[in-house]
């Protein structure tokens, strides 16, 4: 599949039962511009208008907008719009990837001071436990049937992804962000962020480097039916580090290697590093949250014509 262009709208609205005196927030709603994706433009609209708005990048290179609303309000609306292009990832041959134990040993050595590439140095830190994706014997045991001795890393990771997809049931009412990963493991149901965290925990428990990816997924309507606006969703998957291949995206919710319909917002250790919105408010009472995501494909942007002498 060739390069595709999308217009993404992410609308978040908070309604409060009592007035909010002021609030401080961070938004991570600017798509990344790297690899197989280019962000052509991005705009953030906030109501009420913030008194202060600053942009910065975190340690992973994600763009963050900090804003402060210092007037009394009963609702907060954040609308992020962006235009971006995606292209398919480079082809990989899973059987030609190095043995997983070799990669784990290399990352362990990198973590003790051995010089490596930038990606390898990062991967050596992303093999460690994180708040939402802790390591442990039960996660290593679940991964073990796929990661047999000497097996190529990507071949094993693809099989693990397929097993998570098969063994766990997607149920949006079964968990929330506070649900412990060990409970997800025990009860075998959850949502995309749970499945991404589970695979992260499994890979890291074997000494492998993996990162959590936050983004969007363009959904396709049933045959013969029109695409509904606002019917797409925020999504989560992961990427595992493999020398010579770099970071390879894996989507256990759908059992597939992400292609052009997966749009990346940001990545980090786990969900805590890439929350779309977080902050503190003073006042507010009960809060009602609504979120709508729309991913609309656009006509391809033609290349620039050659300049004439």
- What does residue 108 show for φ and ψ, rounded to 5 degrees? -65, -40
Residue 304 DSSP label: P
Cα separation, 44 vs 79, in Å, equals: 6
The residue written with tokens 């412990």 in the block is: 180
27-79: pLDDT as tens digits: 999 999 988 999 999 999 999 999 999 999 999 999 999 999 999 999 999 99
Q: Which run of H or E residues covers position 291?
A: strand 287-298
* pLDDT beyond 80 at 174: yes
**pLDDT given for residue 300 in this prediction:** 67
Cα separation, 164 vs 58, in Å, equals: 31
**pLDDT given for residue 115 in this prediction:** 55
* pLDDT beyond 50 at 309: no
**pLDDT given for residue 303 in this prediction:** 55
* pLDDT beyond 70 at 231: no
Cα separation, 10 vs 12, in Å, equals: 7
* Nearest C-alpha neighbor of 6 from the set 303, 301, 295: 295
**pLDDT given for residue 90 in this prediction:** 87
* Nearest C-alpha neighbor of 147 from the set 186, 188, 203: 203
Domains, the chain: 4-87+275-298 (2.60.40.2250), 94-258 (3.10.620.30)
Q: Residue 190's pLDDT band (boundaries 50, 70, 90)?
A: very high
What does pTM read for this prediction?
Answer: 0.92
Average pLDDT, the chain: 92
Q: Residues 98-104: what's their mean pLDDT?
A: 97
203 three-class SS: helix
- pLDDT > 90: what percent of the chain? 84
DSSP string, 30-44: S---BTTEEEEEEEE
Higher pLDDT, 2 or 9: 9
For residues 58 and 29, is the Cβ–Cβ distance under 8 A? no
**pLDDT given for residue 226 in this prediction:** 62
67-95: pLDDT as tens digits: 999 999 999 999 999 999 999 998 889 99
Q: Residues 275-295: what's their mean pLDDT?
A: 94
* pLDDT beyond 80 at 138: yes
């Amino acid at each position: 599949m060739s390069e595709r262009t999308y217009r993404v709208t992410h609308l978040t609205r908070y309604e409060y039962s009592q007035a909010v005196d002021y609030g401080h927030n961070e938004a991570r709603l600017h798509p990344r511009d790297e690899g197989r994706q280019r962000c052509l433009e991005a705009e953030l609209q906030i109501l009420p208008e913030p008194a202060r708005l600053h942009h910065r990048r975190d340690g992973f290179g994600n763009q963050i907008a900090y804003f402060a609303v210092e007037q009394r309000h009963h609702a907060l609306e954040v609308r992020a719009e962006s235009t971006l292009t995606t292209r398919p990832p480079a082809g990989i041959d899973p059987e030609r990837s190095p043995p997983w134990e070799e990669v784990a040993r290399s990352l362990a050595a990198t973590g003790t001071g051995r010089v490596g590439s930038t990606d390898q140095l990062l991967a050596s830190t992303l093999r460690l436990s994180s708040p939402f994706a802790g390591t442990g014997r039960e996660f290593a045991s679940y991964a073990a049937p796929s990661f047999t001795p000497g097996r190529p890393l990507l071949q094993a990771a693809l099989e693990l992804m397929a097993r998570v997809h098969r063994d766990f049931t997607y149920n949006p009412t079964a968990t929330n962000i506070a649900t412990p990963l060990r409970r997800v493991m025990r009860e075998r149901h959850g949502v995309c962020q749970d499945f991404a965290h589970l695979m992260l925990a499994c890979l890291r428990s074997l000494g492998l480097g993996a990162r959590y990816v936050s983004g969007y997924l363009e959904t396709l309507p049933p045959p013969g039916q029109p695409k509904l606006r606002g019917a797409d969703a925020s999504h989560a998957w992961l990427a595992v580090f493999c020398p010579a291949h770099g970071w390879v995206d894996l989507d256990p919710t759908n059992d597939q290697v992400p292609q052009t319909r997966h749009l990346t917002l940001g990545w980090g250790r786990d969900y805590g590093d890439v929350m779309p919105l977080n902050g503190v408010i003073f006042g507010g009472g009960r809060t009602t949250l609504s979120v709508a995501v729309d991913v609309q494909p656009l006509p391809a942007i033609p290349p620039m014509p050659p300049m004439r002498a």
